[in-house]
């Protein structure tokens, strides 16, 4: 018997989104929204985002990662290049990012092209991570099938001994991607499901801003 969720209802009425009050540059609009969400209570990790890729099996797959930096060039996150997402991006660099900020009833959806950041940038970020996270990048053969949890615990213990009192080098298979946007959609919840949706699309060097029906 199906589990009926038809009574799950919420009215969205915290904010409005208009073209007139939106920045002509979507990066500036994102920065504005990100700051507002940061300053409002209710979201533990404002930088959590969904990354959707097309796998080598032809299926889309989404997962949550953490945004680590952004500027006019794009949005950067880090991962194992040999992971499922890394292999997918090696075959198809088209990607979709999405942010969901329920505390202000907002979403941002970004389509873009993934490019690896430089080794220098990846190495600098790697050494800024806690030592345990650095060891974790070496420990996990991300996305591979493993026998049990003990496999990871043993590898971690071995690596702790190997790198005891030593600097941990960045693995060659680990680094960052910069997602260079071709479109941004800003979504603001509104009453009666008549949500505000503004779409920025890149044409050459200029951004076109349009309103979408909800």
Which residues are catalytically annotated? Answer: 193
Nearest to 63 by CA among 71, 75, 55: 55
Q: Under 8 Å CB-to-CB from 74, ≥6 apart: which residues?
A: 112, 115, 178, 179, 180, 181
CB 178 within 8 A of CB 73: yes
SS3 145: coil
Residue 14 CA: distances (Å) to CA of 49, 136, 188, 190: 22, 40, 9, 8
Residue 24 CA: distances (Å) to CA of 18, 82, 200: 12, 38, 9
């Amino acid at each position: 018997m199906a589990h009926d969720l038809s009574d799950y209802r919420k009215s969205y009425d915290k904010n409005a989104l208009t073209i007139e009050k939106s920045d002509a540059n979507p990066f500036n609009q994102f920065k504005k929204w990100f700051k507002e969400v940061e300053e409002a209570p209710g979201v533990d990790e404002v930088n959590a985002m969904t990354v959707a890729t097309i796998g080598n099996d032809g299926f889309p797959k989404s997962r949550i990662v953490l945004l680590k930096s952004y500027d006019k060039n794009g949005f950067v996150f880090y991962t194992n290049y040999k992971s499922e997402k890394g292999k997918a991006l090696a075959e198809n660099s088209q990607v979709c990012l999405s942010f969901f900020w329920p505390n202000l009833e907002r979403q941002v959806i970004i389509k873009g092209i993934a490019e690896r950041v430089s080794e220098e940038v990846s190495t600098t970020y790697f050494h800024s991570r806690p030592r345990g996270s650095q060891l974790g990048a070496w420990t996990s053969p991300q996305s591979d099938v493993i026998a049990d949890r003990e496999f990871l615990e043993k590898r971690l213990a071995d690596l702790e001994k190997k790198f005891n009192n030593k600097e941990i080098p960045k693995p060659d298979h680990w680094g960052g991607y910069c997602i260079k946007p071709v479109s941004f959609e800003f979504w603001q919840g509104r009453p009666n499901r008549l949500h505000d949706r503004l779409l920025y699309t890149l044409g050459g060097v200029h951004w076109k801003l349009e309103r979408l029906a909800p």
